[in-house]
Structure formats: C-alpha cells, structure tokens
Amino acid sequence: MKLTQMWLHQLEMPLVAPFTTSFGTSQTKHTYVVELRAETSAGPVTGWGECVAMEAPLYSAEYLHGAAEVTRRWIAPALFDQPHLSAESVAHHLDHLIGHPMAKAAVEMAVLDAQLRAAQTSFADYLGVTASTVPSGVSVGIHDDVPSLLRAVGGYVEAGYARIKLKIKPGADTEPVAAVRAEFGDELPFQVDANAAYTLVDANHLQRLDEHNLLLIEQPLGEDDLRQHAELASLMRTPMCLDESIHSVKAAADAIALRAASVVNIKPGRVGGYLQARAIHDVCRAHGLAVWCGGMLETGIGRAANAALAGLPGFTLTGDISGADRFYAEDIVTEPMRMHDGVVDVPTGPGFGVEVDRDLLARFTTDVLTLTPEHT
C-alpha cells in the first residue's frame, strides 16, 4: 500500500469511575487514535490504530504528546516515503528511530488494520486464531477503604468476570488482598499488580502475599530489575509475572534465561505493536512460560485487537480484556465489546472487526493533527 494521509485524533474520554494505581489516579482517558488512508490494489482503504501512552511518563518513558510529536516529525515521514508499505515492514522502516514503541505501535496498528481491510481478512484469521471467545478478566484499582473495594469486586464477581486483578502499592497490599480472599474464597481466580512499586528490600513483606493463593504477582520491582526479580521469585511461592520489564523479544529471552519470571503480561503497545507481541508469545510458549494479554484502558479499537491476540494458544491465563463498560459509558466504536458469561467474543469482521462511530469520535475529540506527505 501507499500511504496518502494520516490523522491523529486527540481524545479525552471520561471514565465511569476513578482508576487508581501505584502511580496515580485517572478520571479521564487521554489518548489519540490514528486514522490513515492508503491506496492499495483493492482501492483506497482506511485503517485505525490507537496510542496507549499515558499523559505523563509514569508507566514508561513515553508520554502522549511526545508520541504524537515523534509521529509527526519522524514516523509519518518515514512511512509516507515508502511506495510499497506493509504492516510487516513498518518496524523495519522505523528501526533507525530509537525507542518510542507506543508511538510506533499505534501507526503499525493502523497500517495492519488497513491492510487486512483491503484483503477482507480479520485479524484473528491473520494470526491463525480459531477460538471464538476468550476469557475476560477485570483490573480493579486501589480503593480508599476495604469496604468499597469489596463492593467493587463483588460487582465484578456477580457480573461474571473470569478473574480479578487488584492493583497494590506499599501501604495498600496485604490488608486488601487478605480481605478479598476472605470475602470471596479460594475459588476466586485472583492476582495482584504492583506496577514496579517495590524494591527487593520489601521481599519479606511481599512474602506475606504467599498466604493468599494468588495466581501471580505482577511487576513488583523496577523495570530494569531482572536480576532482582529472579531473586525475589526464588523467595516467593507466588508465581512471578513481568510487565514493564518485557519491552521486546530480547527482554523476554533475557528474563527466561535469568529465571526472572514464570509468567509474562504482553501489552502490544508496550512492546512496539501486535506483530512484536506475537513474536514474544512465540518465544514464551517455546520455553513453557504462560502469557496473558494486559490492558491499557483501550478504546474499542484496541480492545477488539487484544481479544484476537488473546486467542493465540500461548495465552493460557485470563487477560485484562473487560467489556467496554468497565471503563466507558460510551465507546468510540459502533458495537462496543461486551463481556458475557465470563468471556468476550473474538471479532470476525475485516481488520480489527470494529467500526468507528464518527459522531462519538467527534464528541471526545479535543484536537486533530493532519499529516500528509507534503506537510510532515
């Protein structure tokens, strides 16, 4: 295909409830979605992607406006220059740009969506996914008190979610975990996520989580602390899961070699796109590590793509692929994803299988950056 135009739609989408992690509280999702137009052998086609970078560089070094600027100044011009662009070649054409995986992933996602739409192929078929549904887990933020946490978890359990993940941080960890386990019993599939809030000095304290039969503890230590994670893993019975540390196939291979984790959370935006995510899945599966698909409060575009990715056979643990209504009263796609009976459906339509509702897109849009070959 040949790219002819690109738009970055800056959005502000209110959350149905505040979402608190170890690095802060969000009440509004700030993001941008990539719309691109391309000429293909099948005619002109439009593709959509989205950037999962946060407004501030708290989860990773990237931040939203920086990702948009990198796209405007370097990513878009590099791809506009290509006469025969494909999703599989995007990473190669951007390899000279150091870092910025979330910015790169957003554009690769839109190219992939356009490519698949031109071929009238679904993302699931492209991946070779045969599952029609995938189990749906939910991520629960840090609450101000235990009673409100138990009410929130109870609502998700009653709704039928297949797994609960609880965010933790120092001072909000052992007490809420113990309360959830006591309230809902050992049968509840239950895990925790620290978002790198601890250090190895906290090992004795974190060992207290072993009492609660957790599926895993996710990223307790810093992003660069592979050796320390390996040491902590040797001290705990709870399986160690890495998130922020796994930003590439190489990082996954290093973690495996160091025995730093037995589980990996794959977030496509964090690792540079869905094709890189599939490669990490393949490496982990070959070495016997379980993987699951994490979430970044995606709109319906990313939510649909994540559901298809989670249908690959190595995704043996329930991912953070909740229904859209977990976070948004209104999504930007015409048919928002719904959780039913503990699962979500894998989309089967061309591309990522969802259509953007332009009226809702316009309602949440605060700015649009238009990029063309002549103006980048």
Which DSSP helix (H) or strand (E) runs through 330?
Answer: none
Q: Which one of the listed residues 29, 104, 165, 167 is annotated catalytic?
A: 167
Token pair for 278: 């599939």
Distances (CA, A) of 53 to 106, 116, 178: 10, 24, 32
The active-site residue, picked from 29, 104, 165, 267, is 267
Closest CA to 7 of 88, 110, 142, 85: 110
Closest CA to 261 of 234, 279, 283, 294: 234
Cα–Cα dist 214/216, whole Å: 5
Q: How many residues in the chain?
A: 376
Nearest to 246 by CA among 231, 232, 260: 260
Q: Which residue has the tokens 């990237």?
A: 62
Upper half-sphere CA count for residue 307 (Cβ side, 13 Å): 33
DSSP single-letter state for residue 333: B
Catalytic annotation on 250?
no
* Non-local CB neighbours of 21 within 8 Å, separated by 6+ positions: 141, 142, 167, 169, 193, 195
Asked if 104 is an active-site residue, the reply is: no
Amino acid identity of residue 48, one-letter, is W
- Residue 373: C-alpha distances to residues 6, 66, 70, 72, 365 (Å): 9, 20, 15, 11, 23
Among 304, 290, 306, smallest CA distance to 332 is for 304
Between CA 84 and CA 164 the distance in angstroms is 44
Contact (Cβ atoms closer than 8 angstroms) between residue 176 and residue 168: yes
Active-site positions?
167, 267
